[in-house]
Amino acid sequence: MSAVQGLSAFPITPSGPDGRVDVAALRRIVAPLADAGVDSIGLLGSTGSYPYLTRGERRRALDAALDAAGGRVPILVGVGALRTDEALRLAEDARAAGAAAGLLAPVSYTPLTEGEVFEHFAAVARAGLPLCIYDNPSTTHFAFTPELVGRVARLDGVVALKSLAPPPEAMAAHLGALRAAGPAGLSIGYSVDWHAADALLAGADAWYGVAAGLFPARCLAILRAARAGDAAEARRLDAAMRPLWDLFKAHSSLRVAYAAAEALGICSAEPPRPLLPLPRALRDRVAEVVRGLGPA
C-alpha cells in the first residue's frame, strides 16, 4: 500500500466477557462497509479495542475481517502494544495474514520520549508491513510534534499519518505544519469525526472515521462533497450528523458506537471490561438519534 486515501471506516470489535472475538458478528459489521465502498477499513483501532485483545484474538479478528472484505477494500489493522517486540510480532502477523498496513500507536505505561518512539517505529517497520503513524494522545498520552512526524515518516515503510483534527480555525495551520515537516507523498489524515468535514475541505488526504463504521454511506457523501469542493453541501451533511457528534463528545465515541451498533441491529455486544455500557437512558437516546439518521 503506497498511501491511505479517502474514507477509512473504524468499526468496533464485538467480543464476549472472556475477550474472545465474535467473528460472526465482526463479519456482519465489515461486509457492509466493503459493500458501501469505503476506501479502507481500520480494524483494531481505538474503537476496535485493540489493547484489550490477545495476540491470538487479534489474528482471529483480522482473518475474519479479511474474509468478510473479500479483497474489495484494504484492511488497516492496529499493531500497537506496550512492548516493541510484541508490536513487531503483531506487525509480522498482519503482514502474513494479508493486511494492507498497520496502525501503530506508541502505547505506553511509563511516558515515552521522542527518541523512544522513533526507535519503536524503526524496529516495528522492519517487519515489512507498511505503517500508519497513529497519533491519539487521549489514549496513549503521547503527542507527536510535526518534527517527530517528519523523522518517523522518513523511515522505510511509513506511508501515512492519522492525526487528531484540531478545531476548524486551526485546521489549515495544523495541516500546513505537517505537510512542511513530512516527506512528499506522506498521506495525512484525521480522526475526530465532528471536525472531519473541515479537515477534508482543507485538503486532508483521509478521514479515519468512527461514524464510518456505522454510517458509511453518510460519511462517504460528506467525503465526496468535500472532494468536489462543495463546502456548503459538505457542511450541510455534516450538520445532519450533529446529534451523533454531540453524543460522541459527551460519552466517548467508543461507548456510543457499541450502543449504536445494537440500535442498528448489527450486533449486541458490550465494551471490554472495565469499560461499561452506557446507562439504559443514554442507550435509548443513542437509539433515538440512530433512528433519526435513517439508513446507514
Provide the annotated binding site: 47
**Angle between the N-to-C axes of helices 55-69 and 84-97, in degrees from 0 to 180, rounded to the nearest 10:** 30
Beta bridge partner(s), residue 275: none
Distances (CA, A) of 149 to 1, 10, 107, 129, 144: 19, 22, 16, 18, 6
Which of 145, 165, 168, 154 is closest to 125 using CA atoms? 154
> Do 118 and 151 touch, CB atoms closer than 8 A?
yes
The verdict on whether 162 is a catalytic residue reads: yes
Which of 34, 25, 23 is closest to 56 using CA atoms? 23
What pLDDT is attached to residue 177? 98
What pLDDT is attached to residue 296? 63
pLDDT band at 268 (very low <50, low <70, confident <90, very high): very high
> Do 19 and 272 touch, CB atoms closer than 8 A?
yes
Active-site option among 50, 109, 134, 258: 134
Q: Residues 285-292: what's their mean pLDDT?
A: 96
Provide the annotated binding site for pyruvate: 47
Q: Residues 101-125: what's their mean pLDDT?
A: 97
Q: Could you confirm whether domain 2-228 is CATH 3.40.50.920?
A: no
Domain ranges (residues) in the chain: 2-228
